[in-house]
């Protein structure tokens, strides 16, 4: 059993946690957050282009996001893309820039978002456990092939379980942080 295997397992699990954090950044929590536009693409000369590559995006006030396109002719395309996205905010076009005004979240919407955050967290834990399962299967194959002993396999499984517990705890921490952000007024 070399440490490299366990480092690879940890790296795979860390990627799952990082992906979860990225997913959470696109969930709006009542405050203006430029990351909410990361997945929105506008038609720019026939090519779907991320808005983040077409414009400067800034938070002018706590709940106002300003999209300032570098090419003013793309303003309509950006407005159309924001309307078509699942952000749920109507863009206000003043001819030079687009303003997104985030309304305060209702209690019902907050609870809905917390459920979504919890669901994503559980899905992430499942993917972390899948990494564990794959690693343990590999150790069992190695034991059958007489590459490692039964004791080595059991020790490796325990080590992988400890790593899994660590990353499941990280998922819980990231989820709790996002839930707290959503529930804070």
What total number of domains does the chain contain? Answer: 2
**Residue 56 three-state SS:** strand
Verify that 84 and 63 share a domain, yes or no.
yes
List the domain range (segments joined by +) for residue 96.
Answer: 34-101
Indicate if 127 and 150 belong to the same structural domain.
yes
On whether the CB atoms of residues 92 and 98 are closer than 8 A, the answer is yes
Helices in the chain by DSSP H: which ranges?
Answer: 3-25, 75-84, 107-144, 150-183
Whether the pTM exceeds 0.85: the reply is no
Q: Which helix (H) or strand (E) holds 100?
A: strand 98-101
Q: Residue 119's pLDDT is what?
A: 92
- Residue 111 has a pLDDT of 86
pLDDT more than 70, % of the chain: 97
Contact 40, 65 (CB under 8 A): no
pLDDT value for 141 = 92
Last residue of a domain, one of 101, 124, 151: 101
Please determine, for residue 12, whether its predicted confidence score (pLDDT) is greater than 60: yes
Mean pLDDT of the chain: 87
First and final C-alpha spacing in the chain = 50
DSSP per position, 49-96: EEGGGTEEEEEEETTEEEEEESSGGGHHHHHHHHHHSSS----EE-SS
What mean pLDDT do residues 114-135 have?
A: 93
Confidence of residue 138 (pLDDT cuts 50, 70, 90): very high
Q: Tell whether 21 and 48 lie within a shared domain.
A: no
65-100 residue pLDDT tens: 898 998 888 888 888 888 888 777 788 888 888 898
Which of 11-20, 35-44, 123-132, 138-147 has the least mean pLDDT? 35-44
Residue 106 has pLDDT above 90, yes or no: no
Asked if residue 185 has pLDDT above 60, the reply is no
The answer on 135 and 96 residing in a single domain is no
């Amino acid at each position: 059993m070399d440490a490299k295997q366990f480092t690879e397992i940890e790296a795979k699990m860390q990627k799952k946690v990082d992906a979860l954090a990225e997913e959470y950044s696109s969930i709006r929590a009542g405050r203006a957050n430029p990351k909410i536009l990361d997945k929105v693409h506008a038609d720019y000369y026939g090519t779907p282009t991320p808005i983040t590559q077409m414009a400067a995006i800034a938070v002018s006030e706590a709940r106002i996001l300003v999209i300032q396109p570098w090419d003013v002719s793309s303003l309509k395309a950006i407005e159309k893309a924001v309307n078509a996205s699942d952000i749920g905010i109507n863009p206000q076009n003043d001819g030079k820039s687009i303003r997104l005004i985030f309304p305060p979240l209702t209690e019902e919407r907050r609870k809905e978002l917390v459920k979504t955050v919890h669901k994503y967290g559980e899905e992430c834990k499942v993917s972390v456990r899948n990494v564990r399962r794959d690693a343990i299967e590999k150790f069992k194959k190695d034991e059958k092939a007489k590459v490692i002993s039964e004791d080595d396999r059991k020790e490796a499984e325990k080590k992988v379980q400890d790593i899994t517990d660590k990353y499941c705890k990280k998922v819980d921490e990231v989820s709790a942080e996002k839930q707290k952000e959503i529930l804070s007024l």
